[in-house]
Structure 1
Amino acid sequence: MGLTKIRFHLEVDEDGWPPAESEGLWAEPLGDGRFRVDNTPWFVRGISAEDTVKAAPGADGVLWFMETLERSGHQTIRVIPRTDGPLNGDQQLVLDAFAPLGVAGEGFSQALRIVALDIDRDADLAAVKKLCIDGEADGRWHYEEGSVTSEWLAI
């Protein structure tokens, strides 16, 4: 069976962030309204790649997220390269910095310059977190924790 898109409602803050009211993530149908998330979210909090979620069609016919059923152990970190820093806003340089740690990701667009990182459950979390913190401290980027585990928080 192919992938399907699940929509997630987003809470937009007073500054208009995130820049959308919902986000669609690809997911693999598992049956009985269960789906395995197949990509890393840009804006959704508390969800990572390979998490198992429940979704159902809304009145609009769109498949909407209802709840998380099982966490995969993957984690999501979002990095925004600073345009006034040494990376000059370059998303690829962010991806290159994390690649030696086995962390994959994807850049969003030139307009928003967000990199969504998928941290696999086998990654060296201490090294990844140190790079996040060091990159923010030296002006390369800002980062936020989109979905992290207790192991990450304990570091």
Structure 2
Amino acid sequence: MSNSPTAKVLFRVPDNDGGATVETLWAIPLGDDRYKLDNSPFYAYGVSWQDTVLAPTDAQEGLPTFQSVVAKSGNRTVRVIFDPPVSPGNASDQVLQGLVALGCSYEGANPKYMSVNIPPGVELQAVRAYLVQHQAQWEHADPTYESLFPDEA
């Protein structure tokens, strides 16, 4: 995260039961209800680190609440579940360090669940191929699988 003033932006992520998971992401206020995301999403789809979003304050929530993406940063997000959990030197750590060697960065919700940032200069296909090659359990978060493969969704 940066050293700029920060706020939390609320995201409601629909679940399969008709409810929603709430996620709040750190963000830098830009004015006019716009925020630059300052961490990677663990649950939200279609947004990545440093994207600019429109998030007017919701009176009920008491927080800026995601409405739309204003500008994409060029970063992309995949999420990986590691089994066994990542610990120094184990097979999961080696896969994670391989992603770093490709040019990615990551944030961990816990030692099993990582949000991986793919910067603009790194090919998404190279990261996908690496994860498939290492039989990782992962998902597309931004871009979503549905947006990449609309005929298969």
Shorter-chain TM-score bucket reads: 0.7 to 0.9
- Contact 1:95–1:104 under 8 Å retained in 2: no
Could you list the structure 1 runs, at least 4 aligned residues long, displaced by more than 4 angstroms after superposition.
none
**CA RMSD of superposed structures (Å):** 2.5
1:11 maps to 14
Give the C-alpha shift of residue 72 in structure 1.
Answer: 1.2
How far residue 23 of structure 1 moved from its aligned partner, in angstroms, is: 0.2
Q: 1:153 to 1:58 in 2, by over 3 A?
A: closer
1:153 positional shift: 4.1
Could you say which residue in structure 1 is the equivalent of 2:42? 42
In the alignment, residue 105 of structure 1 is paired with which amino acid? Answer: Y
Structure 2 distance, partners of 1:22, 1:93, is 31
Q: How does 1:20-59 map to 2 (within 5 A)?
A: 21-59=21-59
Task: Give 1:38 deviation, angstroms.
Answer: 0.9
What CA distance in whole angstroms lies between the structure 2 residues aligned with 1:124 and 1:54?
27
Give me the whole-angstrom Cα distance separating, in 1, the residues matched to 2:142 and 2:25: 15
Alpha-carbon contact 2:8-2:25 (below 8 Å) kept: yes
Secondary structure of the equivalent of 1:5? strand
Structure 1 residues 28-53: Cα deviation after superposition (integer angstroms, max 9, x where no partner)? 11111111111110010000011110
CA offsets 1:97-130 (integer angstroms, 9 cap, x no match): 21111100022114xx211000000113332121
Aligned-pair distance for 1:149?
8.1
Compare 119-128 and 40-49 and name the one that shifted more.
119-128
SS for the counterpart of 2:39 is: coil
With the length of structure 1 as denominator, give the TM-score of the two structures.
0.79
% identical aligned pairs:
32
Which of 133, 143, 146 is the equivalent residue of 2:138? Answer: 143
Q: State the secondary structure of the residue aligned to 2:40.
A: coil
**Conservation of the 8 A alpha-carbon contact between 2:35 and 2:54:** yes
Aligned residue runs from structure 1 range 39-118, under 5 A = 39-60=39-60, 61-82=62-83, 88-90=84-86, 92-110=93-111, 113-118=112-117
Q: 1:149 to 1:59 in 2, by over 3 A?
A: closer
> Match of 1:65, SS?
coil
Inter-partner Cα distance in structure 2 for 1:125 and 1:76: 9
